[in-house]
């Protein structure tokens, strides 16, 4: 996960903008909490709160994404899988982020694996609904991209450190 709540909240605007959610609520996700009320109300009927057991695989490399995930109490690992079969953990995402940012950029497949590291809850949103909402909710798009950009230096550094990405290589990652 990418740090303390105060730092993460700064990605999505001033702290006063966040919808008040009790800290013990299993439905807490900072991206969803930061959305203006009108955007949230359009998404709400489509957000399904689901339990994700540890060890569950949400997607494999090159699979078409059917959903985006907004973790609340679970932690999801982003795993890069190389052509030679080796893998490296790139990032952990919890209640501060989302899984499926390639959908925000118009993609529909992932170049990595999504693995539930710690069991818990997440909101699941159908990819078709997310795509429909992007033109209507600039905030959802913006917050998702800010989250992705906040993690980019960390996963790039991790790939270089594991020797799985040369310094001159470019690697497009969707969370």
3-class SS string, the chain: CCCCHHHHHHHHCCHHHCCCCCCCCCCCCHHHHHCCHHHHHHHHHHCEEEEECCCCEEECCCCECCEEEEECCCEEEEEEECCCCCEEEEEEECCCCCECHHHHHCCCECCEEEEEEECEEEEEEEHHHHHHHCCCCHHHHHHHHHHHHHHHHHHHHHHHHCCCCCCCCCCCCCC
pTM, entire model: 0.75
Q: What is the pLDDT of residue 91?
A: 84
Q: What is the pLDDT of residue 80?
A: 85
Q: What is the pLDDT of residue 160?
A: 53
Report mean pLDDT in 10-residue bins for the chain, 175 residues.
45 47 66 90 94 95 92 93 84 90 77 92 94 82 76 53 44 43
Q: Please provide residue 80's backbone torsions phi and psi, each rounded to the nearest 5 degrees.
A: -80, 130
Q: Quick one: CA dihedral 21, 26, 27, 28, positive or negative?
A: positive
Q: What is the pLDDT of residue 24?
A: 54
CA nearest neighbour of 32 among 23, 40, 24:
40
Q: What is the pLDDT of residue 152?
A: 57
Q: What is the pLDDT of residue 161?
A: 53
Domains located in the chain, CATH noted: 5-161 (2.60.120.10)
Q: Please provide residue 34's backbone torsions phi and psi, each rounded to the nearest 5 degrees.
A: -80, -15
Q: Which residues, 6+ apart, have CB-to-CB distance to 75 below 8 Å?
A: 1, 92, 93, 94, 116, 117, 118, 120
Q: What do you get for the CA distance between the two ends of the chain, in Å?
A: 13
Residue 38, Cβ density class (10 Å: 0-12 exposed, 13-18 middle, ≥19 buried): exposed
């Amino acid at each position: 996960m990418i740090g303390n709540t105060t730092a993460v909240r700064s990605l999505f605007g001033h702290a006063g903008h966040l919808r008040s959610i009790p800290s013990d609520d299993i439905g807490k996700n900072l991206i969803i909490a930061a959305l203006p009320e009108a955007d949230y109300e359009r998404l709400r009927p489509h957000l399904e709160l689901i339990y994700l057991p540890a060890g569950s695989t949400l997607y494999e490399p090159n699979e078409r994404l059917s959903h985006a995930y907004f973790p609340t109490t679970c932690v999801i690992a982003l795993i890069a899988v190389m052509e030679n079969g080796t893998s490296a953990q790139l990032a952990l995402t919890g209640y501060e982020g989302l899984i499926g940012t390639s959908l925000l950029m118009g993609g529909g497949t992932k170049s990595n694996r999504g693995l539930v590291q710690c069991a818990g809850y997440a909101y699941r949103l159908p990819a078709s609904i997310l795509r429909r909402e992007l033109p209507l909710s600039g905030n959802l798009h913006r917050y998702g991209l800010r989250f992705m950009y906040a993690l980019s230096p960390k996963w790039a550094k991790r790939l270089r450190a594991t020797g799985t990405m040369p310094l001159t290589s470019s690697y497009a990652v969707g969370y």
